[in-house]
Amino acid sequence: MIAPLKPELPHFLLIGFGAVGQGLVPLMVQALGIVPTRITAWAADLQGEAVAQSVGISLRLQPLTPDNHAALLDAHLRPGDVLLNLAVEVSSLDLIAWCQRHDVLYLDTGIEPWPGGYQHGQGLEQTTNHWLREQVLALRQADRATAVIAHGANPGLISHLAKRALEQLAQDQGLSFTPGRWAELAQSLDVQVIQVAERDTQTDHRPIAPGEFRNTWSVPGFISELSQACEAGWGSHETALPSGAKHPSGKSPDSIYWLHPEHSLTQVKSWVPTVGDSLAWLVTHNESISLAEFLTVRDAQGQLQYRPTVYFAYQPCPPAAQSIAHWLHQHKQAPAVQHVIPLVHLQEGQDELGVLLCHRTGAYWYGSTLTLQAARHLAPHNSATTLQVAAGIVGALAWMLDHPRAGITEAEAIDSDQVLAVALPYLGHVGGTHTHWHPGPDGRFQHFIAPFIASPTP
Ligand SMILES: NC(=O)c1ccc[n+]([C@@H]2O[C@H](COP(=O)([O-])OP(=O)(O)OC[C@H]3O[C@@H](n4cnc5c(N)ncnc54)[C@H](O)[C@@H]3O)[C@@H](O)[C@H]2O)c1
């Protein structure tokens, strides 16, 4: 435990106090020594009131909108304070712009638009994570307050685990490498595909009714992801785009996006240590784009030499998987009942979150396996899922407080040793497993994509 921060140190404003916010505050206190009276949360509902009282922070019903956010933040925050955007559909772009103008530090766990920002009517490309990320990166200026973007578990922590995984694979293969040259290392290891491969088995063992959606983290947040286009960072070894896929306009073809099948979702073949060969949903995530870009190698003339294909292959918890089946049967209509599974109802399970580095002779999975039981022991108000997210946030916060003038910063640019030193105690078992698993004769995307199924049976 680090010594408590000094009284003149910042005030922390959390926008959103749902599953992630409630799990985070105990870690801000426990891992960083932040005094709870320095933390305020604003939310669009007061469902977290009992937790706010128990952890000793003030929670206010204060929904932010495009029209009110600037005046509210003006009145509450001073230079040097820290704003954490942990809400669904509160614009990262607008909050970052405000923070950069007012010298306030900022962190979010994903780049979000205001409500309506994911509706396809405005143009599909404008709803992609690629596009949302480009808007934020365009605000970058030198010598500005630090704004850490997209830093929870995934996106976020997973990019630090990816660096560790590459180092470990090199060591296991007896390959020498220059520390810090991650892209060249991935190229030398011939890593063609990186799946962020996550399997959540936490369950309350209660059946899902039609029109109900339950999950271990935000239901509206997950439904937004499922409603966005699929996306992948697009590897230099790929030869054919998936059906209907496009590259974003106006840039080198570093990623692709395409629509899920009308009444279903795109499935991919995946591998995780506990079950091996398995099927997962391909869900769009910021790290698919940022990690692929970070691991790109170009020659002196700027010609592309190497990039892995990167995407998120997700096996959500059993209640969420059943909820998805109902949602697909109801043609993706918004579920009438949506909620995060109350922590007291969760009975067992774990979150297995890692990178699967697919190379010529097999694959290497490296990540965190955290059981519900271990999460409960490590910190109050957390499931295994939220604790992995909160661990990523406090790791990045520790780095941010030491580097307050770094401007807009992505996970890949942050010192992984510092983040992991803070996060590792909360991640359960962290390690790697080699496998000969390979879904096809080579690492092209077409061998990973699973046969289309109209929709699973609820
Ligand atoms: N990077 C990661 O690893 C990761 C993992 C899980 C969740 N997330 C993201 O974290 C965020 C929070 O997730 P969660 O599971 O806590 O969600 P949640 O649905 O449990 O809670 C959302 C919170 O946002 C508040 N909110 C909604 N609209 C608001 C508004 N206009 N103004 C102020 N507050 C508002 C709600 O009142 C609630 O407190 C989401 O954006 C989610 O996608 C990231």
To which H or E segment does residue 359 belong? strand 350-359
How many whole angstroms separate alpha carbon 284 and alpha carbon 289?
9
Instruction: Retrieve residue 76's tokens.
Output: 């509450």
* Predicted confidence (pLDDT) per residue in 416-428, tens digit: 999 999 999 999 9
* Predicted confidence (pLDDT) per residue in 122-147, tens digit: 789 999 999 999 999 999 999 999 99
Q: How far is CA 32 from CA 79, 127, 143, in A?
A: 20, 35, 25
Q: Characterize 283-294 residue by residue with b for buried, 16 or more Cβ atoms within 10 angstroms of its Cβ, and e for exposed.
A: bbbbbbbbbbbb
Residue among 85, 218, 284 to mutate when testing ligand 1 (max atoms within 8 A of CB):
218
For residues 319-335, average pLDDT: 96
What pLDDT does 257 receive? 97
Instruction: Retrieve residue 315's tokens.
Output: 């096996």
For residues 394-400, average pLDDT: 98
Q: Which of 8-12, 298-302, 410-414 has the lowest mean pLDDT?
A: 8-12
Q: Which of 167-181, 242-256, 343-357, 395-409 has the lowest mean pLDDT?
A: 242-256
Q: Pocket around ligand 1: residues whose beta carbon is below 6 Å from it?
A: 15-21, 42-45, 63-64, 86-90, 109-110, 112, 152-156, 217-218, 220-221, 340, 389
How many whole angstroms separate alpha carbon 437 and alpha carbon 440?
9
Banded pLDDT at 454 (limits 50, 70, 90): low
Instruction: Retrieve residue 329's tokens.
Output: 């049967």
Give the domains, in start order, of the chain with CATH numbers. Answer: 157-382+428-448 (3.30.360.30)
What pLDDT does 3 receive? 45
For residues 57-81, average pLDDT: 98
84 in Cβ contact with 389 (< 8 Å): no
The answer to whether residue 6 scores a pLDDT higher than 70 is no
Give me ligand 1 centre to Cα 20, in Å.
Answer: 7
For residues 84-90, average pLDDT: 98
Give me ligand 1 centre to Cα 74, in Å.
Answer: 22
Where in 81-234 does DSSP place strands (E)? 82-85, 105-108, 147-149, 193-200, 212-215, 230-233
Give nearest CA residue, ligand 1 atom 25.
16
The answer to whether residue 375 scores a pLDDT higher than 70 is yes
Q: What is the pTM of this model?
A: 0.97
What pLDDT does 253 receive? 83
How many whole angstroms separate alpha carbon 220 and alpha carbon 202?
19
What pLDDT does 452 receive? 65
The answer to whether residue 173 scores a pLDDT higher than 50 is yes
Give me ligand 1 centre to Cα 88, in Å.
Answer: 4
The answer to whether residue 163 scores a pLDDT higher than 70 is yes
Banded pLDDT at 1 (limits 50, 70, 90): very low
Give me ligand 1 centre to Cα 57, in Å.
Answer: 18
Residue with tokens 């698919």: 288
DSSP string, 270-310: EEETTTEEEEEEEE--HHHHHHHHHT-EE-TT--EEE--EE
